[in-house]
Amino acid sequence: MSQNKRLELLAPAGNLEKMKTAFSFGADAVYLGIPDFSLRVRINNFDLESIKEAVEYAHARNKKVYVTVNIFAHNHHLKKLDSYIKKLKKIKVDALIISDPGVMEVVRKIWSEVEIHLSTQANCTNLKSARFWMRQGVRRIILGREVTLE
């Protein structure tokens, strides 16, 4: 690992209390989302107001909040996506975790400078795929769960 890169401890945050606990135990960043746009529907107890509160809490402690927008979108999702991304931009979340190319296209149109991380849900399991996503502007790739350290 180069000297300018450091490990980041990233933890899930199903609600504000869990987020605060993660930070108390050393997490550098958390990821969270709302049920409409996250695949972790059953364990996400966030809405836009609590995401705003989470970001304010995290930023006051020099921590980060990444928001999952990792659904595989159908057309009905896209109708609400523009508004949601504009609100996340206003809240100033630190990055978006995305799995769907169509969602990424919408995000890039609305918020071109946002940092995008590729969700494990995109199932990136090889070097060629990783390079493809990097060319699309993805800054971090969360590899598929099937990938070994080798």
**Weakest-pLDDT range from 20-24, 30-34, 37-41, 81-85:** 37-41
Average pLDDT over every residue of 14-31: 96
Nearest-CA neighbor of 10 among 30, 32, 40?
A: 30
What does the pLDDT read at residue 39? 67
Rounded to 5 degrees, what angle do the CA atoms 109, 116, 58 make?
Answer: 115
pTM of the model: 0.91
Tens-place pLDDT, residues 41-59: 556 679 999 999 999 999 9
Average pLDDT over every residue of 65-74: 91
Give the CATH number of domain 10-141: 3.20.20.70
Parse the chain into domains and list their residue ranges: 10-141
